[in-house]
Amino acid sequence: MDETAGTRRVATDYVECLERRDWAGLTALLAEDVVYDMPQTRERIRGRAAFVQFNAEYPGDWHLRVRRLVADGRFAAVWLDVRVGDDRLDACVWVDVDERGRVERITDYWPESYDPPAGRDHLVERW
Amino acid sequence: MDETAGTRRVATDYVECLERRDWAGLTALLAEDVVYDMPQTRERIRGRAAFVQFNAEYPGDWHLRVRRLVADGRFAAVWLDVRVGDDRLDACVWVDVDERGRVERITDYWPESYDPPAGRDHLVERW
Instruction: Assess if residue A123 is contained within a domain.
Output: no
Instruction: Assess if residue B40 is contained within a domain.
Output: yes
Residues of A in contact with B50 (CB under 8 A): 123
Instruction: Assess if residue A127 is contained within a domain.
Output: no
Mutate one of B62, B124, B125 to test the A interface: name it (highest A CB count within 10 A).
B124
Q: Specify the CATH number for the domain of residue A75.
A: 3.10.450.50
Mean pLDDT of chain A: 96
pLDDT along chain A (127 residues), means of 10: 95 98 98 98 98 96 98 98 95 98 98 91 93
Q: Predicted ipTM?
A: 0.96
Instruction: Assess if residue B51 is contained within a domain.
Output: yes
Instruction: Assess if residue B120 is contained within a domain.
Output: no
Instruction: Assess if residue A118 is contained within a domain.
Output: no
Question: Do A79 and B79 make contact, defined as CB atoms within 8 angstroms?
Answer: no
For B101, the domain range is 3-109
pLDDT tens per residue, range B53-65: 999 999 999 999 9
HSE toward the beta carbon, residue B51, CA cutoff 13 A:
28
Give the residue-averaged pLDDT of B56-77. Answer: 97
Domain total in chain A: 1
Alpha carbon of residue A58 to chain centroid: 14
Are B22 and B29 spatial neighbours (Cβ–Cβ below 8 Å)? no
pTM: 0.96
